[in-house]
Amino acid sequence: MDVGKPAGEDAETALGGGRCAYQGAPGAFSHEACMALRPWDEAVAYDSFEAALAALKSGEVGCALIPVENSAIGRVEPAATLVEAADLNIVSEVWRPIRLALMAPAGASLRTVRTAESHPIALRQCPASLAALGLTPVEAFDTAGAARAVAEAGDVTRAAVAPVGAAEVYDLSILRNDIQDSENNRTRFVLLSPRTA
């Protein structure tokens, strides 16, 4: 499903010339959403929701795709509050399935890992699974950012909770798929554009 592409406009002109901001590192859920929902755009990563929204307001990008609600935990904060306060146009919204995977460097196993690193929102979607595996949650700025940090460290006691695609991006092994506590785990993303006068 393509989101927010006006009928009759080509990929280069739809909402800002083809650049869509998201929060996180390549391989994050927001990055996957940009790639799936706005395939004609260049997905542009920002370290924070504030930075992604600021890029939209400044005209650096033409739109932003931001998660605001999760079916398991409710509002995605601080993103939802920032979107409400940003005075931007909500072009469209879409619910996307969120499947969390536990991943670690080559040589790691469920016996060696001790910690699970991820964005706080992702960690709140799998506390029972992590507890059952005896893993201590460790907060990181982003799901894919956690995967990148785990890959760079190469420590078999560290794992990340992230999308399956992040394992491919950062060359990690999947130790367990679908560790989200809810089978119907979904996140609502909103596509934002600047307000027109």
Name the phi and psi angles at 187, rounded to 5: -125, 140
- Arithmetic mean of pLDDT, 50-79: 95
> Between residues 183 and 15, which one has the greater pLDDT?
183
Tokens standing for 153?
């460290």
Whole-model pTM? 0.84
Task: Please identify which residue in the block is written with the tokens 């927001």.
Answer: 30
Chain Cα centroid distance, residue 86: 20
Active site (annotated) includes residue 29: no
Q: Is 33 helix (H, G, I), strand (E, B) or coil?
A: helix
The C-alpha R_g of the chain, in whole angstroms, comes to 17
In tens, the pLDDT along 78-92 reads: 999 999 999 999 999
Active site (annotated) includes residue 189: yes
Looking at residue 17, its pLDDT comes to: 57
CB 31 within 8 A of CB 43: yes
Return d(Cα 127, Cα 61) in angstroms, integer.
Answer: 35
Q: ∠ CA(80), CA(117), CA(25), 5° rounding?
A: 60
In tens, the pLDDT along 103-150 reads: 999 999 999 999 999 999 999 999 999 999 999 999 998 999 999 999
Q: Which of 29, 49, 143, 187 is catalytic?
A: 187
